[in-house]
Chains A and B, each alone.
Chain A
Amino acid sequence: MAKVIKSFSLDPDVAAFLEARGNASGEINKLVRRQMLSEQVEHVAGRRPGPGERDAARRWARRELDEARAHVEGGAYDEVREAMGWAA
């Protein structure tokens, strides 16, 4: 029996994003896998953050990572890394 493979459509901005990443099927696999894991976590924890909480957490996460990166790229670790012989 012939195998039926379902197809689906994407919003233009999502399609453009995936095309820009160069490996659309790989990106979709990663996103689907992340979503499935996230749903399992919510099920086990018995807690599902609402969109407002999620958005606030995402903005906070981006801010914190940017601040941390600026700190480290500004040379905060250089002295220790040189002392340990880890400097590039």
Chain B
Amino acid sequence: MSESPVQLILDSTALAAYGHNATVGELLNEVEDEELTVLCSTGSLAQALAVDTDRALLELLLQRDSCTAVSPLTEWERFADFLRFVGPGHDVHDAYLVMLAFQHRAYILTTDPGRYRAVHKAVWCIQLQNPWTDGATG
């Protein structure tokens, strides 16, 4: 993993929006300007690909200086501790992203913050906005 601190985690909905929603690229630019890191779980990449996200866009995303792919398989014992902490009944991969957020003091970019707050209410999510049209003031 990159040595620089992690600031942002992209879930599958954020990955699917890359290239189609200017907000994703601008968030990445802001993170890169501060020389921080963005994490993409291999599970989220698989979820995005499974719903027909363009593979070429995912590959271009992973070429960005800020982006690093991570896998729950490489830290399964730590993940087991976290699953025990949050209790049963959660989507396992959603819980993994929440663990990453707490572990790295980072935030999850998603269209659906509720699914992550259901794992733990304290996790901070940035909810993706629809693209603006030219001339919008934002």
Contact = CB atoms under 8 A, between A and B. Distances in A.
B54 A44 contact: yes
Contacts of A41: 18-19, 25, 57, 60-61
A34 B102 contact: no
A57 B131 contact: yes
A37 B59 CA distance: 10
Interface string B26-70: 110111100000000000000000000010110011011100000
B136 interface: yes
Given A68-B126, A77-B122, A56 B60 contact: no
A61 B28 CA distance: 9
A10 B65 CA distance: 24
A45 B65 contact: no
Contact of B107 (A34, A52, A62, A68): A68
A86 B81 CA distance: 12
A56 B102 contact: no
B20 A45 contact: yes
Interface of A: 30, 33-34, 37-38, 40-42, 44-45, 47, 49-62, 64-65, 68, 71-72, 76-77, 79-81, 83-84, 86
